[in-house]
A and B are shown apart, each in its own frame.
Chain A
Amino acid sequence: MDRIPILTMGHFLLVTIQVDMHDQLALTLQDDLTNKITSTLAKGVLIDISSLEIVDSFIGRMLGNISSMARVLGAGSVVVGMQPAVAITLVELGLSLTGVYTALDVEKGMQLLRRQIDADFYHLTTDGNFVEI
């Protein structure tokens, strides 16, 4: 069965969606991520959607669900790399992804994730770097 790979990097889980997802694939990703947060005790999830050419209400709902499930499991989450045309379409469709953290690229997304879990795991040094406590 098709699956979108989830990479583990330290306390984080990274997902890059590079295919035109059918609905079941999106649901499988949602389940897999939730299980993986629990099994790896991840503190943050980063989802890169820069290759996605459309986000319809189904995929939008999946992104919202992942963000809520991560939160309930004590992890932060961020969606990065949305294409401008996708953003325009999403808003006109009526979907504003309330409650989903977003960032322009992976780097900014990682910064945001680290800030979200700052209190638990990281300490911001005076020169702007994060060090693990």
Chain B
Amino acid sequence: MSDRLLRVALIVVCAAGIAVAAYLTYVHYQPEALICTGSGGCETVQDSNYAVLVGIPVAVLGLAVWIAALALTIWNTDLARTLTTALAIGSLTFTTYLVILQLFVLEAICPWCMANDVVLVPLFTMLALLRLRSAPDA
């Protein structure tokens, strides 16, 4: 896959991540706007003590990370490429923890969170690694 294609794919994934995180941020402050299927899993996850980290909603952190990822992808340099990969791996580590929380601690699934944690972040990490590999050598 060409570097250009990988970059476009990364931008698309970041845009999707921003959309999901923005929605989760919005429903954090406007809970009645939550659109969710299932038996209350969204509410359980969104209202749990784990949804806020040192006073900051996890959704807001996610939004900030996705915006940073998009900015790094647009900033098309070697350093940005490296930082994107690091950001992706850091995010993957944290979202793995969030998935474990949903499955085994809260026993409730928020499909929007899962879309971010299981689909978008791993995809973003994979694309970032592929793009790093395809970077031209000095």
Task: Decide whether A and B are members of one complex.
Answer: no
Q: Which residues of A does B touch, CB under 8 Å?
A: none
